[in-house]
Amino acid sequence: MRYFFVLLNFLAVVAFAQQRPQLPNLKTTPDSRKVQAYITISKAFEASQPDSAVHYANEGMRFAEKRKDQNGQAQLLLRLGNINATHRHTDLARRFYNESLTMFRRLRDAEGVARTYDALGLLDGTEKNLPAATQNLHEALKLYKNKRDSSGIIETYEGLGRVYAQKGDTEKALSYYLRALDYYHHHKTKPEAYFVLLENISNIYQKKGNTAAAMHYLKEGLDNSKQQALRDTEPHLLNEEGKVFEQTHDQLKALSAYKEAFAEAKRYKQPEEQAQALINIAALLKKQDTKTSLSDLKLALNIAKGLKQPQLEANIYKAMAGVYQQEKNYREAMEALEEQHRLLDSLLQADTAKDIASLDSSYALESSREKIGNLEDINRKERTELILGLIILVIVIIMLIGLVVYLRKIKRLNEELRNSNRIKDTLFSVIGHDLKGPAGSAAQLFELMETEEFTEEELRGMIAELRKQTTASLELLKALFEWGKAQLQGIKVNPSDFDPKPVIARTIHLLSAQAAQKNISIDEKIAEYLLIHADADHFEFIIRNLLSNAIKFTYNGGSIQLAANLVTDKKEVVFSVSDSGIGISKAQQQVFLSGNLNVSFGTAKEKGSGLGLMLTKDFIKANNGRIWLESQEGTGTTFYVALPVG
């Protein structure tokens, strides 16, 4: 299993390095070739950026569905299965593969069916289901042979070899690998997969103890990599050759191979292979020349940091710990292992596109702790009580850091729980009080109308009251819906540059009847040629809510002023809604700055829920704006809203 994933990673790195500069331009690609372009781009991102790979596959799927291209859809389903299989989401991968297989069968596309059987076989292999894996791969092989598709045959033979290698059956694995190699020998050009196959074969011979045969196949790869177009495969193979020389205890040849790998990697700008060569050299020299070994590892560490590869850095720190231990410098060894521990932990927590298997990371963490334990045992034997005390202090610090991280996590979870409870309490409060009251009043009026006899004038009064109650309930339900959607789904902003004047005019017209009922005049002073950058729907809601509240809390015969002016130095437009109403107390103003105003009745006993103002504040914040107020009790209130200039 170890060789399988190492080799897949090598192939992905080489292929990715070569394909990224040649990615097709989707804007210039004809529609007839666009599905293949999406597949090519998705493949390029598969190993390192699975989120991007899935994105382009999904975009391609939408394009294929729009064109009713079933073959394209089947290929993209296969692509999505491959991405999930690569990152070990096996259940999801199998679902994509099965759907792809169904479509290819319906289309009678033998090649597509064969490719999907291939993929299913490899997936079964990773799950240790050898019977299913071999059955699927043999189905693929049969179809490829019927079509005389040599590339497909090679791929399936390699897949069978991989499956048996994972199962530990080296003889059968070698048999299938050699069959695949025989097909490659009839090809003039050698793809990257050819070099991976040679390395697979070499690894099996190393496991069998036949280093001569292992070296033979690595040499074949090196000879073919001398071609200019394939030189970027040479550094990796040289590193593998050095490992074989190490197994035969030929230290000089191993060192020579590693140094050549470093030089070639530097020449062809492969920093990861440079770092690997330096690690190999350091491991080889650590018993003879620890100073040179540490120097090489520090150079490798600088390369790894430049690549921003925490896993490679962790491997280097692990190697450095081994060298420090060789020098009996246990303090430095401890620090190196702690840094390795930190990097491995960061890999587990990082929000990156790569998936790190939990078993691998657990093993790495357990291995680090085991090494730390061994160093502690050695220190107890060879160091003084002072050094032992320092080690204990380091362990305590690590535990304290872990405790702090744990407490922060608990604090975050508690905050999320409080927010959830706040949403729940608000919903129940609105439903239990603000909706229950109007609904109960309406029910009582209906009951009276049904059981009692009233004059026409009395009925009109009751109907007016019913309309008032139902209108209030409807407005509350709308606000509750908008607020609930914002809390559960988040506020989605679609910003654009627009003139606010028509929106304000439309809102004033909409609320004019409500103002007329209380004989309230609305005056507007909107500057000309204003443009704001915001979500137009959000802006209309903000103005409507502030104006509606102003009407609600203004006495009969009062007035409301709505103004808008450009503030050039702050690059924003400031809107104001002023009323001559009941005003807001200083205490309530402070509550507004930190939360939301308490619910109260309007001048005509209109009931409010406070949801509209809560949502207004959320919308303003989402649109990069500000809101504040000025008020005096008994005189009136002015709300100010500042939004970015368009």
Write the pLDDT tens digit of every residue in 150-191.
888 888 988 898 888 888 888 988 888 888 888 888 877 778
Report if residue 164 sits inside a domain.
no
Residue 618 and residue 517 share a domain? yes
Residue 484 and residue 598 share a domain: no
> What's the mean pLDDT in 501-530?
87
Total residues found in the chain within this entry: 646
Residue 218: inside a domain: yes
Which of 253, 269, 285 terminates a domain? The answer is 269
pLDDT band at 112 (very low <50, low <70, confident <90, very high): very high
Question: What is the reported pLDDT for 515?
Answer: 85
d(CA 345, CA 362): 10
Verify that 555 and 638 share a domain, yes or no.
Answer: yes
Answer whether residue 525 is part of any domain.
Answer: yes
Among residues 584, 571, 570, 572, which one has the least CA distance to residue 639? 584
Residue bearing tokens 């109308």: 449
Q: Do 218 and 241 lie in a common domain?
A: yes
Interstrand relation of 532-535 and 572-579 (parallel, antiparallel or unpaired): unpaired
CATH number for the domain harbouring residue 439 = 1.10.287
Domain of 362 in residue numbering reads as 271-383
Which range of 93-107, 171-185, 406-420 scores highest in mean pLDDT? It is: 93-107
What per-residue confidence (pLDDT) applies to 500?
93
Residues 639 and 498 in one domain: yes
Cβ–Cβ contacts within 10 Å for residue 510, how many?
A: 13
Task: Give me the pLDDT at residue 377, please.
Answer: 63
Q: What is the pLDDT of residues 547-599, one digit of tens each?
A: 988 888 888 889 999 999 998 888 999 999 999 888 888 878 777 766 555 54
Whether 516 maps to a domain, the answer reads yes
- Residue 51: half-sphere exposure toward Cβ, Cα within 13 Å: 5
Tokens encoding 501: 């004047």
Quote the CA–CA distance of 254 and 237 in Å, as a whole number. 12
Element (H, E) at 147: helix 130-147
State what percent of residues in the chain have pLDDT above 70.
79
> So what's the pLDDT on residue 351?
41
Top pLDDT among 310 and 495 is at 495
pTM of the model: 0.45
From residue 497, how far is each of 365, 491, 526 by CA, in Å? 53, 19, 17
Whether residue 110 is contained in a domain is answered as: no
Assign residue 562 the CATH number of its domain.
3.30.565.10
* Same structural domain, 520 and 541: yes
User: Are 498 and 486 within one domain?
Assistant: no
The model's pLDDT over 295-337, given as tens digits with 9 standing for 90+, comes to: 777 777 777 777 777 777 788 888 777 777 777 787 887 887 7
> Average pLDDT for residues 29-48, to the nearest whole number?
89
130-139, 279-288, 369-378, 624-633: least confident range: 369-378
Question: What is the 3 state secondary structure string of 570-618?
Answer: HCEEEEEEEECECCCCHHHHHHHHHCCCCCCECCCCCECCCHHHHHHHH
CA 186, CA 176: separation in Å to the nearest integer? 16
In tens, the pLDDT along 360-399 reads: 332 332 343 344 445 556 666 777 778 888 889 889 899 9
Give the per-residue pLDDT at 113.
93
Whole-number average pLDDT of the chain: 78
Residue 222 falls within a domain, yes or no?
Answer: yes
How high is the pLDDT of residue 496?
93
Residues 455 and 424 grouped into a single domain = yes
CA gap 481, 475 in Å, rounded: 10
The rounded distance, in Å, linking the Cα atoms of 109 and 116 is 11
The pLDDT tens digits for 534-548 are 998 889 888 988 998
Closest C-alpha among 199, 162, 197, 202 to residue 180: 197
Separation CA 261–CA 267 (nearest Å)? 10
Distance CA 534, CA 559 (A): 28
Mean pLDDT, range 514-518, rounded to an integer: 84
pLDDT surpasses 70 at 469: no
Does the residue 48 lie in any domain? no
Per-residue pLDDT at 208 exceeds 60: yes
Q: Is the pLDDT of residue 435 over 60?
A: no
**Predicted pLDDT of residue 564:** 93
Mean pLDDT of 404-425: 78
CATH, residue 208: 1.25.40.10
Residue 641: per-residue pLDDT = 95
For the chain, the domain total comes to 4
**Average pLDDT of the segment spanning 450-468:** 74
Asked whether residue 147 is domain-assigned, the answer is no
Point out the domain boundary residue: 490, 507, 529.
Answer: 490
What pLDDT shows up at residue 228? 44
Residues 283 and 221 placed together within one structural domain of the fold: no
First-residue to last-residue Cα distance in the chain? 58
- 37 pLDDT band, cuts 50/70/90, is very high
Residues of the chain with pLDDT > 90, as a percent, come to 17
Whether residue 194 is predicted with pLDDT greater than 60 in this model: the reply is: yes
Together in a domain, 412 and 370 = no
- Same domain flag for 512 and 635: yes
State the pLDDT at residue 350: 57
Both 441 and 335 in one domain: the answer is no
Q: Residue written as tokens 């139902």?
A: 470
- Identify the domain boundary among 360, 383, 406: 383
- Kindly state the average pLDDT of the residues 52-65: 88
* Confidence band for 39, pLDDT divided at 50, 70 and 90: very high
CB hemisphere CA count around 103 (13 angstroms):
20
Please list, in sequence order, all residues whose beta carbon lies within 8 angstroms of the beta carbon of residue 483, skipping any fewer than 6 positions away: 426, 611, 614, 615
Q: Cα(307)–Cα(230) distance, rounded to whole angstroms?
A: 23
